[in-house]
Amino acid sequence: MSSWRGENVLILTASSGLGSFAPAFRLRSYLRAQGATTHFYCIEQLFDEYAIQKHQQTRAHCRANFRKALLLQKVVEQGGIDLKSIIDPDKFDTMLHIWLQQKFTRCIVFSGFWVSALAEMTTGYSPTTKIDAVHMDAVLSSSWLHAKAHSQAVQASIRDIYLYKKNSKRVFTLYPVEQPLDWRFRSPRVLGHGGGWQMGDLAALNARLNREAIYSDMILPAGTAVVSSPYQRILTTEANYHPWENLDKLPDLTILPEANSNEPPSNINFEQLARSAPAIITKPGGASLLDSINFATPLVLLPAFGEYEKQNAITWLSLGFAVTFEQWQESGYSFDMLKKLHNNLLNHSAVSPIFGASNETGD
């Protein structure tokens, strides 16, 4: 078993919703700590200015209208995105020139759009002979469905790696993590968010938790008019944060003070919140499943975004790692129910990292 020291690793991701970006970002940090040289790219770095503008508009529309977001997702899955029309050829050529100077020993891909882009923009080139395709969902997500039509044209063998898969009881982490926080030391506050794009009716969820006097940390989009209260801490995402403009940080979270308070806003780390929460109330995105298994923090599930998130939800429910919000509501918002799910996560014996201390990929 050889270490990562001396390895030259290319990591390719996307920033849509942060579900691919944040896990890839954290994997890069881990591999660097193990001595690897890493090269990190986000597909949106290659977009032309018009495509970037449309991307930001799409995010705003999806945040405002969940049903419209589902329709846009179907367009992507059915191959409705022509990457050649939105990728700036000069940006792509500059990137390719840099790649050709490197001898990559590993290529780890978190978004199928990269497979599509390589197939459409190059002929007979791949950064490595083998590509590790990391799937953050229990079935093929939109970007990987888009890539299916192009994968044969990429001059590399693509190895599919699922952290969790439909109809399988095997679950993996992406990289080694520290021991989860004991239930006795957990915060009394559940954590609520709508994924990286903050989709869903978060205002209604916020109002319900407040009405039921449930202590919570609620992450809302920047510019929200809601303030913190004795029961609820309101946290806002960083305004104007775009991963493709800064590949070396994740967005800051700001805790808003209560009304009429003289305390200034303060920042907090998302992983700190997820690790100490008794549960995360969110839609079943792949990155949220990874947070759940990393921190042994159960999920209380909001409506899924598309078919792959529905399969994520079915997988987590069947493993005893989650309940739907309706089930938790029917239990009287029982924390004993959450503790049982936490113990299920702790006791799941098959959890091991895909990318561990050696550079051999876990099966």
CB atoms within 10 A of CB 57: 10
In what order do the strands lie in the sheet containing 130-135?
A: 37-42, 8-13, 106-109, 130-135, 157-162
The CA-based angle 246-7-141, given to 5 degrees, is 55
Question: CA 212 to CA 268: how far, in whole Å?
Answer: 25
CB atoms within 10 A of CB 53: 11
Contact between 187 and 153 (Cβ < 8 Å): no
CA neighbor of 107 nearest in space, from 154, 153, 67: 154
Amino acid identity of 131? I
- Burial of 288 (C-beta count, 10 Å sphere; 0-12/13-18/19+): buried
Question: CA 232 to CA 214: how far, in whole Å?
Answer: 8
Question: CA 23 to CA 196: how far, in whole Å?
Answer: 12
**Which alpha helices (H) appear in the chain, and where do they start and end?**
21-33, 49-64, 66-77, 83-86, 89-100, 112-121, 142-147, 202-211, 270-276, 286-295, 306-318, 325-330, 335-347
Question: Looking only at Cα atoms, what is the longest distance across the chain?
Answer: 63
Enumerate the β-bridge partners of residue 217: 191, 233
Enumerate the β-bridge partners of residue 255: 235, 266
Question: CA 17 to CA 51: how far, in whole Å?
Answer: 16
- Write out the chain's pLDDT in tens, 363 residues: 568 999 999 999 998 778 899 999 999 999 999 999 999 999 999 999 888 887 676 666 555 555 555 545 554 444 456 788 889 999 999 999 999 999 999 999 999 999 989 988 888 789 999 999 999 999 998 888 888 877 777 878 899 999 999 999 889 999 999 999 999 999 999 999 987 556 667 778 888 888 898 999 999 887 777 777 888 888 988 888 888 988 999 988 988 888 767 777 788 889 999 999 999 999 999 999 999 999 999 999 998 888 889 999 999 999 999 999 999 999 999 999 999 999 999 988 657 899 987 777 755
CA neighbor of 350 nearest in space, from 362, 340, 333: 362
Contact between 277 and 187 (Cβ < 8 Å): yes
- Burial of 225 (C-beta count, 10 Å sphere; 0-12/13-18/19+): exposed
Three-state DSSP state, 234 = strand
pTM equals: 0.90
Contact between 140 and 77 (Cβ < 8 Å): no
Amino acid identity of 45? Q
CA-to-CA separations, 341 to 88, 176, 277, 357, in angstroms, rounded: 47, 21, 13, 29
Q: Which two tokens stand for residue 197?
A: 């794009």
